[in-house]
Structure 1
Amino acid sequence: ILKIILKKNKRKELNFNGEIIKQKDLPGLLTMILFSPEDLMLIKGSPLLRRRFIDIELSQISRIYYNELVQYNRLLLQRNNLLKKIRENKKLIPMLDTWDEQIAKTAAFIVEKRLRGIEKLSKLAQKIHYEISQKMEILNIRYNIHNYKNEALNSFDDLFNFYIKALSKYRDNDIYRGSTSIGPHRDDIDFFINDISLKSFGSQGQQRSSVLSLKLAELEFLKLETGEYPILLLDDVMSELDTRRRENLLSLLQDNNVQTLITATDINLFNAHPKNKFFKVEKGIVSE
């Protein structure tokens, strides 16, 4: 049993099977997917949203990935602090070699996992979107390594060598800016419909359908990786979807017995189904 205990004027407490745990121990204990109105901005919003999306996904199935991500952010902060000091004292430049090697190793690990994860998600989302679009649209999702346009980097060694060379190449620029210009913190994820950029040329309906396909692909991805469907949280998105997309979503969840918690302000957005349960929240009071 996982509990999150909120107390007034105190830090929240995480409790798993009666024992207090730290936030770093959460990944993998309970897999969940959150679909909120913010996710409808996933395609046309900032790269930060897309990086956070894949990081949350991979952290749920691999605590090692989560730990490497935390380590990378720590190394990045330390390297950036050193870059700022070097602007005042050039004698510190040789110290960058040690940081660059550590960052290259961690970056290579993270990006290799992201590449594999996006590849699997793309295949799943493509099948789902093909049906949602009435077999008219082929959705492709590709991972975009910042400042790299050549042949694919497929292995950890390829990625490590790329980052060692790139960190050296952009070192002078990084010192001038006081920040690291290359790495997984600068990467992005691209979406294409029939090989046309969804962000640049896709309609609002295509973008929303693609996000819905991606979220449904997340369900299948986590089931394949963990053996069971995650809990799905839909936070006020039903009114954002048109009738066809809403019905497709509800039918899939009901047919696959996906445990889902949905918030909405209009009960008429839902179909009649024997497994549905409705709760009303009014003035902080919950009633069935």
Structure 2
Amino acid sequence: MKVTSLHFENYRNLKENSIYPADNVNVIYGENANGKTNLIEAIWLFCGGHSFRGSKDSELIQFEKDLFRLKMDFYAQDREQTAEIVFDKNKKLIKINEVEKNSSSYLTEVFSAVVFSPEHLSLIKQGPNVRRRFLDAAICQHRIRYASLLAQYHRIINQRNALLKDILKNKELKETLSIWDDSLSIVGAQIIYERFGYIRHLRASSKVYHSGISGEKEDLDISCICTAKAEENDSVEMIRDKLKNAFYSSRHEDYHTGYTSVGPHRDDFDIKINGISARRFASQGQQRSAVLSMKLSEADLLYRKNGERPVILLDDVLSELDNKRQDFLLNKVEDYQVFVTCCEESNKEQLQKGKVFFVNNGEIKETE
């Protein structure tokens, strides 16, 4: 999958222009707050019509303008294609190969990308809920039914929690708790099983990338933390039984808190570098390398599933990485089209092949 051209009009602070990226690495450099991330964001919008920064569509329109327009030519599914996004404060227009679509979700059927931004460092720095969201979002791209499993599980959890609060007032309701535990065990076991499978593949691929990024000096390991004490090689049936036992064993605590204390909604995964907790002991550069390895692995797993390599978007990834790690990203991520932003002009000099774009006050120019 390759972006062959991108046209932008009235988008953020970018001055109207078209760029023609290289098939391999594209370095986008310039000082902060000049528009580098806006360019990365514009490409990401073609993955489903939403900003990875959480911005509203109305916030993407240039000041004092009525609409923004993005048009991208790209190669995917063995042919040249085109997509267009227009937003005029009232309506978003999506066109794919000149055919108007009634939903941005159609974009995901023709174009895909993986994005890294500094916010993704929260995968290591913050709590388990951030890692669960990353894991669940990644699995949803591979298993269509997984999203419905999550929705079903959270509905049952909400009902069980409501019952736990009612039990505080009416002890006789304890007898009905087993009904919810049975349902949660069935659905929860399938979620845990899918997470185990994805972590297994993510760990194997991430190890390879992290070894390359670190010059074979560091070993990255990712492991599941399951509150039900299930293990990666367990069958769905074994996980279901362990989960059911965990719900039963935690009842005394749950009665007092009014909250279900074990299950997939409380699980986590651990990230270690050379056997040591990345969250507690890794440097900023090591943490960045670890998350980056996971994002590159996410792209690799998408390729294995779809048979087509997604575009890789790396925003401000080079800061706090030493020269060897920077060289790996700029010159050794093979077979993917990569867009990487940076502030230092010296970074562009490391690039062995590809294109360099300079961004200054929203104006983008290709340089020699």
Fold in common (TM above 0.5): yes
Name the CA distance, whole Å, in 1 between partners of 2:357 and 2:318. 15
Name the CA distance, whole Å, in 2 between partners of 1:126 and 1:204. 18
Q: Decide whether the 8 Å contact of 1:15 with 1:21 is kept in 2.
A: no
Do structure 1's residue 276 and structure 2's residue 355 form an aligned pair?
yes
Q: Decide whether the 8 Å contact of 1:28 with 1:62 is kept in 2.
A: no
Q: Decide whether the 8 Å contact of 1:75 with 1:99 is kept in 2.
A: yes
What is the alpha-carbon root mean square deviation over aligned residues? 3.2
Tell me: CA distance 1:172–1:153, structure 2 relative to 1, closer, same or farther (3 Å): farther
Q: Decide whether the 8 Å contact of 2:221 with 2:271 is kept in 1.
A: yes
Name the CA distance, whole Å, in 2 between partners of 1:266 and 1:134. 22
Counterpart pick for 2:218 among 131, 137, 141 = 137
Name the CA distance, whole Å, in 2 between partners of 1:167 and 1:41. 30
Do structure 1's residue 184 and structure 2's residue 229 form an aligned pair?
no
Q: Which residue of 2 aligns with 1:18?
A: 100
Q: Decide whether the 8 Å contact of 2:124 with 2:291 is kept in 1.
A: yes
Q: Which residue of 2 aligns with 1:234?
A: 314
Q: Which residue of 2 aligns with 1:215?
A: 295
Deviation at 1:264, TM superposition (A): 4.7
Unaligned runs of 5+ in 1: none
Secondary structure in 1 aligned to 2:216? coil
Mapping of residues 97-112 of structure 1, within 5 Å: 97-112=178-193
Moved more, 5-14 or 160-169: 5-14
Q: Scaled by the length of structure 2, what TM-score is found?
A: 0.66
Name the CA distance, whole Å, in 2 between partners of 1:131 and 1:204. 18
Deviation at 1:180, TM superposition (A): 0.9
Name the CA distance, whole Å, in 2 between partners of 1:269 and 1:87. 62
List per-residue Cα deviations over 1:16-54 (Å, max 9, x = no partner).
Answer: 76333487x887775432211122232232112211121
Tell me: CA distance 1:61–1:98, structure 2 relative to 1, closer, same or farther (3 Å): same
Name the CA distance, whole Å, in 1 between partners of 2:343 and 2:283. 27
Counterpart pick for 1:246 among 323, 326, 333 = 326
Unaligned runs of 5+ in 2: 1-45, 51-56, 59-87
Q: Which residue of 2 aligns with 1:4?
A: 49
Name the CA distance, whole Å, in 2 between partners of 1:282 and 1:234. 20
List per-residue Cα deviations over 1:228-265 (Å, max 9, x = no partner).
Answer: 12232323333343433222112234x31x23444555
Secondary structure in 2 aligned to 1:107? helix
Tell me: CA distance 1:131–1:171, structure 2 relative to 1, closer, same or farther (3 Å): same
Secondary structure in 2 aligned to 1:97? helix
Mapping of residues 255-270 of structure 1, within 5 Å: 255-256=334-335, 258-264=336-342, 269-270=347-348
For 1:188, give the aligned amino acid: D
Secondary structure in 2 aligned to 1:236? coil
List per-residue Cα deviations over 1:197-254 (Å, max 9, x = no partner).
Answer: 333333433333222222222221221122112232323333343433222112234x
Counterpart pick for 2:145 among 42, 64, 71 = 64
Q: Scaled by the length of structure 1, what TM-score is found?
A: 0.82
The structure whose Rg is larger is 2
More strand by share: 2
Name the CA distance, whole Å, in 1 between partners of 2:268 and 2:175. 30
Residue identity (%): 35
For 2:311, give the aligned amino acid: I
Deviation at 1:114, TM superposition (A): 0.8
Q: Size of the alignment, in residue pairs?
A: 283
Mapping of residues 117-136 of structure 1, within 5 Å: 117-136=198-217
Name the CA distance, whole Å, in 2 between partners of 1:153 and 1:274. 43
Secondary structure in 2 aligned to 1:192? strand
Q: Which residue of 2 aligns with 1:82?
A: 163
Mapping of residues 155-170 of structure 1, within 5 Å: 155-170=235-250
Tell me: CA distance 1:198–1:90, structure 2 relative to 1, closer, same or farther (3 Å): same
Tell me: CA distance 1:279–1:180, structure 2 relative to 1, closer, same or farther (3 Å): farther
